[in-house]
Chains A and B, each alone.
Chain A
């Protein structure tokens, strides 16, 4: 059995990739995908701890997270669709109308 730290390190790497992507990428779709990466890294953590402690709670919770991610993706893509309709692109940098 692999030690739990292996899972945690992979999870942390994936999470950092996701954060980096959210902060730097310009395309809305890529940002959505990075958000999915962050959610899934959390799922990895949940499942890892669940099997480490021999309890099922974490795995059930991971299933909820997947469902939640699906819902989030559906709404997120719908928003991106409407942004595309009005701006003819999905470049997030251009969406700065809420500034001072």
Chain B
């Protein structure tokens, strides 16, 4: 039994890859564009992931396979608790979204391409999770980025979709370059400081996570800070953190299923997973961890303000995703004081977020499918027509807003939606404990204010779409069963998953990293982190207001949205007009377009960098080359005149030469040299 899953673990990635090939090759000839092949493959991956999860739970040992690649590098599979919950989430959500897509994409002529690309995406994402070394991680990470690009631009006949794909690709590329630089620097450090200690051992693989974590103490701490900051740069790009978040709202140009699968549930969490995966490195470089916390907290707040004013239903959700990813980063950053517990909290929020955000996106997809518009202002009163969608979306919204019952705990588990359970864990046991120990309340404030804004924009969306009078003549209808069935499953998960799994999850994922080890590593960075008991002690003695606050702001936001967007006691126009400077700034998205495109891209990158580089290249580099060649061409023009073609001139030259030679020889013989 023990070795069962180890031997077939590679199938988790291999099956979706096979599905990609088959769908691409034969999809046109199969019903539903071959959509059932990826569903079958991913269902099998999901089953194997469950088996892997059960085995790890039972034995307490990670699943490891490693084989030599070349030199000091290897390829391998590594499934520890952290990876196994990610595997479960990715394969399960991907499976549901594939089933949903059968209905959603039913009328699209390019279905084979769609299903092939999503299958490849799933394979790549599972590859990221399974990787046992940072290089393999990076390869799969790039494949994920490629699939994201392909799927955002899926409707490539739409110029906006093509542009959005390009924007996503280029923006994440900035992060990926930083990530790659981090890997290179890490490799050199490992070679310089660690390799000498490992000489004589067999199977020395420098970039394997295991090897890196075991020898962190040998790498200079300032180097480690640099490496982790560069890694975080990659995570910022992939997970849409400030300032590289600009691609994510535009990525909503793709099909809604893609938005749900890639840009809400799975791919964007790759950045969070990267930080969680390399958490021992971060804990040994706590300065980087504080950067993670501040960037995450700021992003959570910053993105939720923009979520308030968007009118495109998917863009609201996109900003919400950015904001929630910020929470996860914030949670990870709190690891600087609470140690490996932080990985548990952040991953718990990641998994819960995957469920409720996938549900929200798919509900939005259902609404778009039925009304034919993305614009919230054109919706309204949909609840009577689309009951299942409305209810499931309400559940998911409650989860996103983090509504729950504070103080009440049954068997140590808080009672509330999954968003409540996990977000509270981050806010209370993460940021509050941090504030308690360091008297720095900034992360806590980020968390609370963002929670308030989250509740407002979430219910603004729900009230605008489902209540009130229909604002446009359309004939909405409920979606087919493949869609509503998936919505229901996800909504149930959004409601109860957090409650059901809170303690076992933290117990399971919390043991990804050895706590002793983490304490030791934290000592390297000269930071003190508290242990499990101390954490409980601090939380136990906390002022009740701390527990109440997240729920109060959640419910308060809900009521505020109800007052403004359902009852309309406060006129929307009185707040949301362009004369209101705050509204104007937010609705223009903090002038990001102006800053990023006009200022950075056009003025600075094009106007200064590109034109300077062009001048240097064309005038100076090319100029030198041209001058050299011009010199020789002109010289040849002069010298070639010697070749007159007249035989007698050549004869004359020959005679003159011989005569000269004779003269020299006789001169030398006279003087006695020869």
Contacts and interface: CB of A to CB of B under 8 A. Distances in A.
Interface of A: 19, 22-24, 31, 92-93, 95-100
Contacts of B641: 100
B71 interface: no
Contacts of A92: 646-648
A23 B652 contact: yes
Given A92-B647, A99-B645, 4 more contacts: A23-B652, A93-B648, A96-B644, A100-B645
Interface in B552-600: none
B652 A99 contact: no
A79 to B, nearest CB: 11
Contacts of B644: 96, 99
A93 B651 CA distance: 13
A99 B643 contact: yes
Given A100-B640, A100-B641, A95 B646 contact: yes
Nearest to A93: B646
A19 B655 contact: yes
A31 B641 CA distance: 25
Contacts of A93: 646, 648
B265 to A, nearest CB: 74
A96 B641 CA distance: 12
15 contacts: A19-B655, A22-B651, A23-B648, A23-B651, A23-B652, A23-B655, A31-B648, A92-B647, A92-B648, A93-B648, A95-B645, A95-B646, A96-B644, A97-B645, A99-B644
A92 B651 CA distance: 13
Contact of A100 (B643, B647, B652): B643
A13 B645 CA distance: 29
Nearest to B640: A100
Nearest to A22: B651
A24 to B, nearest CB: 8
B643 to A, nearest CB: 5
B645 A22 contact: no
A18 B244 CA distance: 89
Interface in B622-664: 640-641, 643-648, 651-652, 655
A13 B301 CA distance: 109
Contacts of B655: 19, 23
Contact of A96 (B640, B646, B651, B652): B646
B643 A95 contact: no
Contacts of A31: 648
B141 to A, nearest CB: 61
The SS class assigned to the B binding surface is helix
The CB with the most chain B CB atoms within 10 A, among A22, A92, A97, is that of A22
A31 B652 CA distance: 13
Contact of B646 (A19, A22, A24, A99): A99
B669 to A, nearest CB: 18
A98 B291 CA distance: 77
B663 to A, nearest CB: 15
Contacts of A99: 643-646
A49 to B, nearest CB: 19
A22 B640 contact: no
A92 B649 CA distance: 11
A96 B648 contact: no
Contacts of A98: 643, 645
Nearest to B643: A100
Nearest to B636: A100
Interface string B263-290: 0000000000000000000000000000
A19 B657 CA distance: 13
Nearest to B658: A19
B433 to A, nearest CB: 88
B638 to A, nearest CB: 11
A23 B655 CA distance: 9
Nearest to B644: A99
B643 A22 contact: no
A99 B647 CA distance: 10
A25 B643 CA distance: 20
Contacts of A19: 655
A31 B645 CA distance: 17
Contacts of B648: 22-24, 31, 92-93
Nearest to A98: B645
Nearest to B647: A92
Nearest to A96: B645
A95 B647 contact: yes
A99 B645 CA distance: 4
Contacts of A97: 645
A22 B647 CA distance: 10
- In this complex, the member of B640, B644, B646 whose beta carbon has the largest number of chain A beta carbons within 10 angstroms is B646
A8 B646 CA distance: 32
A86 B655 CA distance: 30
A92 B644 CA distance: 13
Closest 8 A-B residue pairs measured CB to CB? A99-B645, A96-B645, A100-B640, A98-B645, A100-B643, A23-B652, A96-B646, A99-B644
Nearest to A20: B655
Contacts of B651: 22-23
A70 to B, nearest CB: 22
Residue with the highest number of chain A CB atoms closer than 10 Å, among B644, B648, B655: B648
Nearest to B646: A96
Contacts of A22: 648, 651
A92 B641 CA distance: 19
Contacts of B646: 92-93, 95-96, 99
A93 B644 CA distance: 10
A95 B652 CA distance: 16
A15 to B, nearest CB: 11
Contacts of A100: 640-641, 643, 645
Contacts of B647: 92, 95
A97 B641 CA distance: 13
A13 to B, nearest CB: 16
A30 to B, nearest CB: 12
Contacts of A95: 645-647
A75 to B, nearest CB: 15
Nearest to A23: B652
A19 to B, nearest CB: 6
A5 B641 CA distance: 43
B551 to A, nearest CB: 94
Contacts of B640: 100
A23 B652 CA distance: 6
A83 B275 CA distance: 88
A92 B646 CA distance: 8
A31 B650 CA distance: 14
A36 to B, nearest CB: 15
A22 B651 CA distance: 8
A29 to B, nearest CB: 14
B428 to A, nearest CB: 90
A1 B127 CA distance: 109
A95 B646 CA distance: 6
A98 B644 CA distance: 8
B644 to A, nearest CB: 5
A83 B640 CA distance: 26
